[in-house]
Amino acid sequence: MNVTPLADLPEVLRIETRRFPDDRGYLFESYDRVRYAAAGIDVAFVQDNVSFSRHGVLRGLHLQHPHDQAKLVSVLAGAIWDVAVDVRRGSASFGRWAAATLSAENGHQLFIPAGFAHGFCVISETALVTYKMSDQYDPPSALGIAWNDPDLAIAWPVARPIVSEKDAAAPRLADLPPERLPPAAVAAMPR
């Protein structure tokens, strides 16, 4: 496994899993707590989510605070463009975003630390996405940020995404009360 910090947000990590192909297909290890901790991803994941979406679906931008969640995102079928946005108030990189293409073909994962908003759009016909979470879903802690917030200027690769009503009504980052956002002290993890 190869772990690479993304240039724009080095706390966000792209993980290249190692595949073992043969004439039947392939096998890969999607998670091993000891190996990931040795690579600097020392997070206790407590919940796994799976979503299935069609081309053009955009989910996000989502986060929780105070029940902050780190996420480990993988694609089991299809491809997505996965985005993380630093929304930790007081952070030097507040409001900056980074993205990576994750697909069943490339086998890459994205580790998104606590304190970052997350969203993705489907760039294949369909996509089956799985993500591990470091805290359980907590509705009072859930926050949404407008996927098309002009201050963030995320260059989504889909011109007219399909979004939920909830995501379409999400406020701009600047319109969220600062106390609703995680502080910069919400550490990605020790590195």
> Distances in Å between the alpha carbon of 38 and those of 1, 3, 17, 70, 174?
11, 11, 15, 17, 37
Catalytic pick from 65, 108, 118, 131? 131
Residue 189 above 70 pLDDT? no
Q: Looking only at Cα atoms, what is the longest distance across the chain?
A: 55
Task: Report d(CA 100, CA 13) in Å as an integer.
Answer: 10
| Domains, the chain, ordered by start | 2-180 (2.60.120.10)
Q: Is the pLDDT of residue 181 over 80?
A: yes
Respond yes or no: is residue 108 known to be catalytic: no
Per-residue confidence (pLDDT) for residue 185, from 0 to 100: 86
Report long-range pairs for 26-33 (Cβ below 8 Å, ≥24 apart). 28/107, 29/1, 30/74, 30/109, 30/130, 31/72, 31/132
Summarised one tens digit per residue, pLDDT across range 133-176 is 999 999 999 999 999 999 999 999 998 999 999 999 999 999 99
Residue range 107-120: mean pLDDT, rounded:
97
Q: 36, 62, 108, 118: which is the annotated catalytic residue? A: 62
Amino acid identity at 7: A
Give how far Cα 35 sits from Cα of 3, 42, 103, 127, Å.
Answer: 11, 9, 22, 27
Give the model's pLDDT for residue 187.
61
Overall residue count recorded for the chain in this entry: 191
How is the beta sheet containing 108-112 ordered, strand by strand?
Answer: 2-5, 13-16, 108-112, 71-77, 126-133, 47-54
pLDDT tens digits for 43-95?
A: 999 999 999 999 999 999 999 999 999 999 999 999 999 999 999 999 999 99
The yes-or-no answer on residue 26 being catalytic is: no
Please provide the distance, in angstroms rounded to a whole number, between the alpha carbons at the two ends of the chain.
17
